[in-house]
Amino acid sequence: MEDRLEDWDIFISHASEDKEDFVQPLADALAAFGVRVWYDKFTLKIGDSLSRSIDRGLSKSNYGLIVLSPSFISKSWPEYELRGLTARELSGDKIILPIWHNVSHRDILNFSPPLADKLAVDSKSLTPLQIAIEVIKVIRPDIFTRILRRIAYYQRLEGAEVRQIALKDIKPSPIQHPTLPPEMIGRIRLIRATLLDVYGCTMEFWIDGFRRDAHPSGEIAYWEHVSAVYCEYINMHPEISTENRSDVFGIILSIGNSSDEEHLKSRAKNLPKGSIDDLRSLWASAIPLFEFESDSSVFKDQIVDADIIPERLGDKEHFPNDLPEALIREIIEATK
């Protein structure tokens, strides 16, 4: 992206009639990917002068997205915004990005011949999300490159072969994040504290490992789940000796990595009967399967319906806001 120091990446000019069904989802998708959007619902506050706010948005945005629709063509406010963007183009900035929404080339030609000559995106066969990606390609190629990398990562995962590798053959990846946010450091500290009796490593060791992960939040979430399952099971069976707790930890890791049944049985020989099944149930649930009675230390034997924990994520994460996983997956599904 060229080096512009404006407040917003893009200004969205539209008619209010198009807001709910088209412009709002488009603006939401752009914002979700980290685009700085001047859009009245995001930007205007109570007491703001409409004309002054619009003028500032026009002058402080790198690009102007014009949603050309029958309602836009018939209104004065959108035309006022369009004149402001056109004035900037006359000074040499090519900033207007038109979207045709329920209009034809002739409609645009009758409204504004210069706009009819511009390459535009037609909303007829595209969703707001797909249009957002086309816009990002132009205004934020850095984000677009990250989107392509994330899509490629998920597509590689779909056909990837899963196999076990000896620990001695695993080579550490290079440092990918020089620092981690304080919030992540706090989560890592809690993981370390929970597993101290079975995995006594220094804080430096833990942080160094996550700094080498392309997407540390996914890995931290994975280890948080490991820690939760371990802690819950140990509290359900306080009779398990300190020596045998390492077997509980080993079974949890093995379940998470789909180890064979014989390996699991060899680790469970000194644990309570049914330990493998109980740990599998705990692992498969996003919330505790066994809960305390109110104000009581007795577990109640009640299984709660729960979703499977989210998949671990992959390619490099960006702080403070990463790419929206749900939208990335929606893009992938649309291309199948």
Q: Left, alpha or beta for 34 (phi > 0: left; psi -120 to 50: alpha)?
A: left
Positive/negative CA dihedral, 7, 10, 13, 16: negative
CA distances from residue 44 to 32, 54, 62 in whole angstroms, order as listed:
19, 9, 18
Instruction: Specify whether the CB–CB gap between 248 and 230 falls below 8 A.
Output: yes
HEC per residue, 73-93 = HHCHHHHHHHHHHHHHHHCCC
Cα separation of 91 and 330, whole Å?
Answer: 39
Helix 76-90 × helix 50-59 angle, to 10°: 30
**One-letter amino acid identity for 106?**
R
Residue type, position 171, single letter? K
Q: What is the Cα–Cα distance from 229 to 21, expressed in whole angstroms?
A: 43
Residue 109 one-letter amino acid? L
Catalytic residue among 17, 79, 81, 232: 81
For residue 134, indicate whether it is catalytic: no
The tokens describing 149, both together, are 């990398």
C-alpha–C-alpha distance, residues 220 and 226, integer Å: 10
**Helices (H), ranges, the chain:** 24-32, 40-43, 50-59, 70-74, 76-90, 105-111, 113-116, 128-139, 141-158, 182-194, 203-211, 216-236, 242-256, 261-268, 275-284, 325-334
Catalytic residue ranges: 81
